[in-house]
Amino acid sequence: MDVYKIDSFTDRAKGNSYVGRGIVTGMTPGGRAASAYFIMGRSANSRNRVFTIRDGAVYTEPFDASKVEDPSLIIYAAIREYGDSLIVTNGDQTDTIYDGLEKGLSFSKALESRQFEPDAPNLTPRISSITDLAGGDYEMSILKSADAEGTACNRYTFSYKALPGLGHFLHTYVQDGSPLPTFQGEPERVAVPEDIDAFTEEIWNALDEDNRISLYVRFTELESGDYEERLINRNKK
């Protein structure tokens, strides 16, 4: 077994009908910080979403507000910047991390006040990442239930030195199921190309066509902070 093998994103996601929500964080071969976030959905409520960009932040919003059943777990700021840090998460813990940084807390310390989502029987994990846009290094976190009953929360934080061409992929579920099986193990090693359009296309095409909803990708220059971004919404406003 080659523990240092780097798979393509396609290798990791293609043919898997439901990996849920996912974050990819890493560095391009040329040294830009790479971040991507996508959402998938099976229910009408989950599929009734789009990504929007406001003031440099990315939000999930309803596509049709009249059809929203429960906004608590589907409407949130997914991506925000705080100083030289880029925060990416699958829920409103984005704001928890942001507020924690303002108070001088670390990424992992800020998340101690949160746990997995209260959506039994799935008990969806909260996944998060933070990238140092000054140097490119990053951390990823997953908060998940310790058992099928949601008795306690297990917390895992992974710290990575940014390496050119390498990213890590963290997603909420192993695959489709009932209940949905929670992601296991360490974030998966995936290749990050230099071309943002190629990476955006690869991620979108690898996600199940019936269940993919929205995708956002950002490549950031470490010295200047300038960035390129791409956005795909299945539901067009």
pLDDT for residue 180: 97
Over residues 104-136, the pLDDT tens digits come to 999 999 999 999 999 999 999 999 999 999 999
Region 38-52: mean pLDDT is 92
Q: Class of 9-233 per CATH?
A: alpha beta
| Residue found under tokens 């190309």 | 193
Query: Which one, of 153, 174, 160, 164, lies nearest residue 129 by Cα?
Result: 160
pLDDT for residue 75: 86
pLDDT for residue 237: 60
Q: Distance of alpha carbon 68 from its chain centroid, rounded?
A: 22
Contact 141, 128 (CB under 8 A): yes
Query: Which one-letter DSSP state was computed for residue 119?
Result: -
Query: Which one, of 206, 208, 215, 207, lies nearest residue 234 by Cα?
Result: 215
Side-chain half-sphere CA neighbours of 225 within 13 A: 9
Enumerate the domain spans of the chain.
9-233
d(CA 195, CA 13): 19
Mean pLDDT of the chain: 96
Length, in residues, of the chain: 237
